[in-house]
């Protein structure tokens, strides 16, 4: 690996250990075995490097969203059953000790103090919405339109952000996939006039 990759891997380890605000450029350099000038040369700033490291950590969660084995294959894309299975898998990642999702809360709270980081992650958030749509609705990510990303994708990202907040704040009272699915059924019922 070169300095660029070493920095990225070091930044990931620092994020998981210290979070965004407590990680210094010197921490990353120490963890990666590189030098301070390498951060500016390869990434422009520590915040951009941390943003990229965070994005890679989150992208690494994608397989966990699908679950192991043919779990999603047994559910119809766009169905309530698929919704329940995918959100069950996502929530499973939030239950893990040292979950990467706590970093999301740090960005939400501290984002105004780290504008470069916030801008970089804001762009990535839109693509996260594009990426989750095929998991729930079927199809391929590259076929998801901008309009669908900006509506359905934004809806799913908003749901995930709320879940992250609840699971970080009070895991004991945070909803599980069954509760989310029942809530969805009630919304659908009310919208179609089939509410109990």
| pLDDT above 60 (res 69) | no
Output the pLDDT for position 68: 58
Could you tell me the residue ranges of all domains in the chain? 1-57, 60-196
pTM of the full structure: 0.82
Interior angle at CA 65, CA 119 and CA 99, nearest 5: 65
CATH top-level class of 1-57 = mainly alpha
Render pLDDT for 70-98 as a digit per residue (tens, 0 to 9).
Answer: 556 688 999 999 999 999 999 988 887 77
- Mean pLDDT within 184-195: 90
Give the list of residues 6+ apart from residue 83 with CB closer than 8 angstroms, or none: 136, 180, 181, 184
């Amino acid at each position: 690996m070169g300095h660029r990759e070493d920095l990225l891997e070091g930044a990931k380890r620092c994020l998981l250990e210290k979070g965004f605000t407590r990680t210094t450029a010197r921490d990353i350099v120490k963890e990666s075995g590189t030098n301070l000038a390498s951060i500016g040369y390869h990434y422009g700033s520590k915040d951009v490097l941390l943003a990229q490291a965070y994005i890679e950590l989150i992208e690494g969660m994608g397989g966990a969203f699908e679950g192991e084995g043919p779990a999603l294959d047994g559910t119809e894309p766009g169905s309530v059953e698929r919704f329940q299975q995918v959100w069950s898998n996502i929530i499973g990642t939030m239950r893990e000790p040292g979950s990467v999702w706590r970093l999301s809360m740090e960005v939400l709270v501290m984002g105004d103090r780290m504008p470069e980081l916030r801008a970089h992650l804001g762009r990535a958030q839109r693509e996260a919405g594009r990426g989750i749509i095929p998991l729930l609705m079927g199809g391929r990510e590259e076929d998801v339109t901008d309009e669908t990303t900006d509506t359905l994708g934004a809806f799913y990202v908003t749901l995930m952000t709320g879940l992250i907040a609840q699971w970080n704040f009070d895991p004991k009272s945070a909803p599980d996939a069954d509760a989310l699915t029942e809530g969805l059924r009630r919304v659908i019922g009310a919208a179609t006039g089939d509410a109990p």
